[in-house]
Chain A
Amino acid sequence: MIEPPPVVELKDVAKRFGHRPPVLAGITLSAQAGDFISLIGPSGCGKSTLLRLIADLSPVSQGQLLVGGRPPAQATGELAFVFQEPTLLPWLTLRHNVEVLLRLRQLPANQRRARVDEALSLVRLEAFATQYPRQLSGGQKMRASLARALTLEPALLLLDEPFGALDEMTRDHLNEELLAIRERQRWTAFFVTHSVAEAVFLSTRIVIMAANPGRIAHEIPIDLPYPRTLETRLSPAYQKQVANISRLLRSVETTSPVS
């Protein structure tokens, strides 16, 4: 049997904008199906840029990037991006917002309805379907943004600091929900965050990046068993990992040249 290609594979990838020094250099990384990879590192080290390369929102300058074994522009599997901001269309109700990507794909109405119902129930927003974004809380808006991505039933989910603006309690809840959804929709995830605790809780692997140029400093597997719950957060193994990652991150931040 032939092994399926990695979901994402980067070989010595560099990215530069114009003639400035590279933003990313020598990135080699591969994600297998089911991986949940968190990217963490000083701000400006190119985490968002890396996600944008994978999503084909920006071209690679050098090296090789394959998504499902093909160049990003020809990738066939569904890919969904959850941005830092909820980016909801203010003139649409929550339901129509969640539906919007399917509308762009011109899916028939009955299929759209089924997928939107499913996504709304995954993020537990059914009761708010007819509300407009301005009537929703920050956490609800972020849930809606996540639901919108899930309607694509993606093979690959890219999340750029999705919960960064939320309070800690809401964030913890959403982290648990995200893992619960992952049990039902088996996507592979790249997740950018500034929170070590969040990264350890969610990930199968954490990639610590350094700046100038943006590069991979450490790759640490997190082998805490799923499903992860409040018990996980309280376990000594989890706390040891958080301490370990925090220490590595600190050493990266203090040795990166400041731009």
Chain B
Amino acid sequence: MKRHTLTVLIPVLTGALMIGLWYAARMTVIAEDQRFLLPAPDAILRALFEKGPMLWSATVSTATGAFLGFGAAVALGFACALVLSLSPFVRAGFYPYLMVLQLTPIIVVAPILILWVGPGLKSVVIITFLICFFPLVVNTTQGLVSTDRNLIELFRMGRASRWQEIFLLRVPAALPYFFTGLRIAATLAPIGAIVGDAYAGNAAGGQGGLGFLTIIFSAQFQIPALFATAAVSCLLGFIFAGAVVGLSWLALHQWHDSYQRKDL
């Protein structure tokens, strides 16, 4: 069989197997009066359609927050990495405070944010930004300061200006690192937006995201709907991660070793 067919077929088979196991576990391991805690896949599917409009508008709201927070983190993270790469003194001065930003739990930050900017999209975007920023800055900075010494020497010999050295050499050389950061940030962005939404979403105005919906469904004990929300969140994560994997492929596959075919 062709490799390509196999790479599609294997995940499909494992998926079918897992759904089978799910049904089997429900019917054998779990006591009958506990079964409502693990709804059957078909019940989840039904909830997905029943709550479709609600889930859709919540997904749009969360995706917007995730995208804006992620985008802001990419833009500011890149700019910040450029500044940090300029000298070890700048890095020594700022790294500890970046760490502080990263180590402060979002649950603690959220109430402060709500006080400052109020609940809603703004808070969600800022929380997503805070979660995505650190991996982007750290990875990109690492890339910008890891340029091959020989290539820098070449640019010095060619009497390159400081700007030329940064934008024609250091930045492209840092792309693989940047994309590593981007992949991490892309998987964190939807999670950040959902968590942010749960804490700081628009609880008052009705137009909530997936985090807000999770809280409603759990309060109402709508277990299949909770599972459906989880599935949609997961899908959103896949879309973010997939988009970044695609971008990374576009930028790197022609030249970077990580895309080198191994079966030559």
A residues contacting B by CB (< 8 A) are 55, 57, 80-81, 83, 85, 87, 89-92, 100-101, 103-105, 132-134
A91-B172, A104-B168 known; 5 new pairs, CB 8 Å cut-off, are: A57-B153, A87-B148, A104-B161, A133-B255, A134-B260
B: interface residue count bin: 20 to 34
In the bound complex, do residue A87 and residue B150 qualify as a contact, i.e. CB atoms below 8 Å apart? yes
- Contact partner of B158 among A85, A92, A100, A133, CB < 8 A? A100
Q: Of all chain B residues, which has the CB nearest A133?
A: B255
Shortest CB-to-CB span from B263 to chain A, Å, is 16
Among A85, A101, A104, the one with the most B-chain Cβ atoms within 10 Å of its Cβ is A104
Give the Cβ gap from A160 to chain B, nearest Cβ, in Å.
Answer: 11
Which A residues lie within 8 Å of B161 (CB)? 104
A87-B147 Cα distance, complex, nearest whole Å: 12
Give the residue name and chain of the B residue nearest to A80 (CB).
B157
CB-CB under 8 A from A81, the residues of chain B are: 154, 157
Number of A-B contacts (CB under 8 A): 47
Query: Distance (Å) between the CB of A133 and the closest chain B CB?
Result: 8
Contact in complex: B164, A85 (CB < 8 Å): no
Q: Which of B148, B157, B254 contacts A57 (CB 8 A)?
A: B157
B47 located at the interface, meaning its Cβ lies under 8 Å from any Cβ of chain A in the complex: no
How far is the CB of A114 from the nearest CB of chain B, in Å?
Answer: 19
Q: Among A57, A89, A105, which residue has the most Cβ atoms of chain B within 10 A?
A: A89
6 contacts between A and B (CB under 8 A): A57-B153, A91-B255, A104-B158, A104-B159, A105-B159, A134-B260
- Decide if A91 touches B175 in the complex (CB within 8 Å): yes
B151 at the interface (CB under 8 A from A): yes
* B175 with A100: CB separation less than 8 A: no
A92: chain B residues at CB < 8 Å are 255
Cβ contact within 8 Å between A101 and B150: no
Q: Is the CB of B157 within 8 A of A89?
A: no
